[in-house]
Amino acid sequence: MKQYGAEFLGTFWLVLGGCGSAVLAAAFPNVGIGLLGVALAFGLTVLTMAYTIGHISGCHLNPAVSIGLWVGGRFPGQQLLPYIVAQVLGAISAAAVLYVIASGTAGFELAKGFASNGYGAHSPGGYSLLAALVCEVVMTMFFLLIIMGATDKRAPAGFAPLAIGLALTLIHLISIPVTNTSVNPARSTGVALFVGDWAVAQLWLFWLAPVAGAILGALTYRLLAEEKTSVQAVEIFE
């Protein structure tokens, strides 16, 4: 239960920090943090949580990451569903807290998106369904490659949180204009449930594409680099 609690709190922090920066600070008058600030905020949530709960739960914070690590032989299948449930509940709880904060000012409207992911008319840059699908698959694939490589026992010890946090920052810098960046079904679900309507209707893509990308990334890493090992540990950070 400590592992599941850690995943709940870690995903809560990711959504509150990442989506919170987008909703509350991205376009704040005169001192808005913009795309670069939001991208950095998402990376910092993973970086800080990796050092905080990595030794407890592995700091997955993402159903696609948990599925990818399972496919990659790094995570036991019997814990997969509880991890995903904890992550989604953490994301929804964070979205609820963010809603309370954000709605405390005049002019707040859920219709503006509430940091939800989307394609077509709901893509920040008006990108198509196909563009969004390809972007999310490829970004999540490389995210898993980096996670598995950085946490490989042959990699330099102690630097995995930095590599993974910076990778998520880079992913956001690339893909915020396309989909508002998901690569994480829990993150997408939490805010979409509050927006409803189009955000829920398009949510399927932000489960399908990240999970497919994570599986591709895990299989690619095993093919390229991983030694033959058995599933022994939950942690991706040691």
Give the global pTM: 0.90
Q: What is the pLDDT of residue 233?
A: 45
- Collect all residues with Cβ–Cβ distance below 8 Å to 65 and sequence separation of at least 6: 143, 144, 147, 184, 214
Q: What is the pLDDT of residue 23?
A: 92
Q: Does residue 229 form part of some domain?
A: no
Mean pLDDT of 183-210: 96
236 within a domain of the structure (yes/no): no
Give the whole-angstrom CA distance, residue 190 versus residue 135. 21
Question: pLDDT, tens digit, for every residue of 100-155?
Answer: 999 998 888 888 889 999 999 999 999 999 999 999 999 999 999 999 999 988 88
Q: Are the C-beta atoms of 156 and 139 separated by less than 8 Å?
A: no
* φ and ψ of 229, to 5 deg: -135, 165
237 located within any domain: no
What's the domain count of the chain?
A: 1
Rounded mean pLDDT, 84-93: 97
d(CA 78, CA 63): 14
Q: Residue by residue, what is the 3-state secondary structure of 95-128?
A: HHHHHHHHCCCCCCCHHHCCCCCCCHHHCCCCCC
- Give the percent of the chain with pLDDT over 90: 80
Q: Which structural domain, as residue segments, surrounds residue 52?
A: 2-224
For residue range 31-71, list pLDDT tens digits in order. 678 899 999 999 999 999 999 999 999 899 999 999 999 99
Q: Residue 182: give its domain's CATH number.
A: 1.20.1080.10
Q: Which two tokens stand for residue 236?
A: 């991706």
Q: What is the pLDDT of residue 29?
A: 60
